[in-house]
Amino acid sequence: MLTAGGYQVRSAVSGPDALAVHADEGCDLLIADVVMPDMSGPRLAEILRRTHPQLPVLYVSGYIDGILGPNRLCTPETDVIEKPFTAAELLAAVNKALEAAPRTDGLAADRSGPAEDQPYAPA
């Protein structure tokens, strides 16, 4: 869905794999499931934000009530897209997360979507 939407995607099969991918290639947006084997999405984001504090994060979950309930894996302000979702919903959520992220290069954010300098996100 992301590739068809014009984004360059790097994927990882686990939290530790995502850390390795990020160390090698970096990313403009982290998209992670909230509940994953080995490491939760919020824990992965916490680790990545130690060195990249402005990294935008979009969580994916099929358990919105559970993650926002008593366990509080995420806060109500967290960007979460609930499964199942359409390609249009995912692309809208990605665009929103990228638009809200502060730019670290001093340039104004381009709100028109992916361009030749395409953002990518480990999935």
Q: What angle do CA 46, 56, 3 make, to 5 degrees?
A: 120
Q: How far is CA 117 from CA 93, 107, 121, in A?
A: 19, 13, 13
Task: Show me where the domains of the chain are located.
Answer: 8-101
pLDDT over 70 at 68, yes or no:
no
pLDDT over 60 at 70, yes or no:
no
Per-residue pLDDT tens digits for 91-120: 999 999 999 887 655 444 444 444 444 444
The position carrying tokens 């638009």 is: 99
3.30.470.20, 3.40.50.300, 3.40.50.620, 3.40.50.2300: CATH of 8-101: 3.40.50.2300
Structure tokens at 38: 């080995």
Residue 65: per-residue pLDDT: 59
102 touches 28 (CB < 8 A): no
Measured torsion, CA atoms of residues 4, 9, 14, 15, in degrees rounded to the nearest 10: -130
